[in-house]
Amino acid sequence: MSTEQGVGAWAFQQKRLFIIVTILFTLLGVLTFQVVPKDEDPRLPDWFATLNVVFPGGEVQQIDQMIARPINEKLKEIDELKKVETTTRVNVTSLQL
């Protein structure tokens, strides 16, 4: 194949080889779709999140009462959440979902 000829010109010159390669790739694609397992409801990994709320100058009881408890109660309304762990310290509260 010279540099002036393209792939189309080469395929036209090598008709049989091109047809055989095309058929092989098509069969390979069809077989791949048949072999790949299909799940009706695939298992999704468990997800988690960390919510950190910074409240500069806040005491533990103040942060717990004003921030952590209201957020915790709203999160309990979500059925998909299995567990919520709350840790409150001076200036910050952290919720593990």
1-6: long-range pairs with CB below 8 Å, 24+: none
Tell me the HSE value of 38 on the side-chain side, using a 13 A CA sphere.
5
Nearest Cα residue to 51 out of 6, 3, 1, 96: 96
Domain ranges of the chain: 1-41, 50-96
Q: Are 75 and 95 in contact (CB under 8 A)?
A: yes
Residues 6+ apart with CB under 8 A from 60: 88, 89, 90
Per-residue model confidence (pLDDT) at position 81 = 82
Q: For the chain, which ranges sit under pLDDT 50?
A: none
**For residue range 37-50, what is the model confidence (pLDDT) as tens digits?**
776 666 777 778 88
> Is the pTM here over 0.75, yes or no?
no
Per-residue model confidence (pLDDT) at position 26 = 95
Question: How many Å apart are CA 3 and CA 62, to the nearest integer?
Answer: 78
